[in-house]
Amino acid sequence: MLDIKWVRQHKETIRTVAEQKGIEVSIAELLEWDDRRRHLLQETEHLRRRRNELSQRIGTLAANGGKDEAERLKNGVKEINAQLSVLESGLAEAEKMTAQLAMLVPNIVSPDTPSGLSDKDNVEIRRWGEPPAFDFEPKDHVALGELHGIIDIPRGVKTAGTRSYFLKGAGALLHRAVQQLALDLLAGRGFTLLEVPLTVRAEALANTGFFPLGEDQTYRMAGENKWLVGTSEVPLVDYYSGEIVDVSEPIRVMAASACFRSEVGSAGRDVHGLYRVHQFAKVEQVVICENRPETAERLLREITQNAEDLLRLLELPYRVMSVCVGDMSQKTYKQYDIETWMPSRGAYGETHSSSSLLDFQARRSNIRFRGEDGKLHYCYTLNNTAVATPRILIPLLEMHQEPDGAIRIPPALRKYMNGVERLALPVV
């Protein structure tokens, strides 16, 4: 959410960003409703003051024998109450419409954000490692999973429908191992681990910028105002909602959680294997800091580097992409995506996303800090996916396969895999 005064002063900028982000919102309508709200509020407050003045005079007159004058003034109070009833109804409508439209206004974007309409317009800024040149016919992760008996998609579909799966044995261990590696890496860098709720109120999703525009991507619990989270970013940020926090040092929190997304609009896309599924797990980083752009920029680089370091530990080639305006969500000011090489796709596939939101989330969530000037200011928030699985299993299995179908376990994961260095083929 942006300050309505700022929107009023920069309405053309906001119109342009909304168009680029593909968000349908009328800034003119928003400002018209806000003008009406301010006018009605002024009128309402004036009449309330007048009513209070009359009520005080009535009390004084009644105490001093001025009964007739008091009765006349009472009639005046009745007239004011009737006017207030109309004004307050109009004010409530104006406040509601202003709030609804304000929730659709997108965040501004950083000056160095690339222009563009889709992920095809994202700009590569660096890469690490090189895609392999196999001297044998490599298998994809589904074939490897079936060969080793560690991924079972047909039974997943039988049990839960499309985009579902089972991980078995070493597959389930790998799924957990990459999460624990990420948690240990982040714990060593000052992040506090939280076990978070997986179901949240609609207010928490609105506070963090996922509602109203992301409602179709979210599963609702029948008969309740509760929703399954698509990322632990939601409870991690909302944990501090309505609070005044100490950000003399940035607040660094993390969570490992199951996540759920309906994937509306992705019919026919990435239907093979584990790339796009309804249930997955993520280790999420969230940082809350002071409202200094240079601090936010430094922290964005920091959390992005955390994800890069994890991929290096997993020995997986990747590239970092600067995300264009049209590929950003409503709430994002600046974003990097990390794409990891996936042999079966013959391309890099997105595995991580790192975002700076400035005070967009904090305004919605009312998370503030007291500055050096003694005044309260809204914080800045940032987030990054340290690892998402089972998607990360795609490059992990495919990149480390050997000619005989065995799968090498990177050294960084072995302590979480009971010391196993290599997944050999089952003996038939």
Residues serving a catalytic function are: 261, 276, 350, 353, 391
Q: What angle do CA 315, 319, 325 make, to 5 degrees?
A: 150
Distance CA 379, CA 292 (A): 9
Q: Helix crossing, 170-187 with 293-313: angle to 10°? A: 140
Cα-Cα-Cα-Cα dihedral sign, residues 362, 365, 371, 376: positive
Helices (H) and strands (E) in the chain, counts: 13, 16
Mention every residue, 6+ apart, whose C-beta is less than 8 A from residue 2. 14, 102, 105, 107, 108, 360, 363
Task: Encode 249-261: b = buried (16+ Cβ within 10 Å), e = exposed.
Answer: ebbbbbbbbebbb
Mention every residue, 6+ apart, whose C-beta is less than 8 A from residue 70. 57, 58, 61, 62
What's the Cα-to-Cα distance from 316 to each of 312, 348, 420, rounded to whole Å? 6, 11, 19
Phi, psi for 333 (deg, rounded to 5): -95, -40
What ranges make up the beta strands (E) of 155-244?
166-167, 192-193, 199-201, 226-228
Q: DSSP state, 105?
A: P
Distance CA 402, CA 234 (A): 40
What is the identity of the amino acid at 132? P
| Best CA proximity match to 286, nearest among 209, 376, 203 | 209
Q: Can you tell me whether residue 130 is helix, strand or coil?
A: coil
| Best CA proximity match to 319, nearest among 120, 132, 127 | 127
| Best CA proximity match to 167, nearest among 260, 277, 314 | 277
**384 close to 304: Cβ distance less than 8 angstroms:** yes
Q: DSSP state, 108?
A: P
Distance CA 59, CA 12 (A): 53
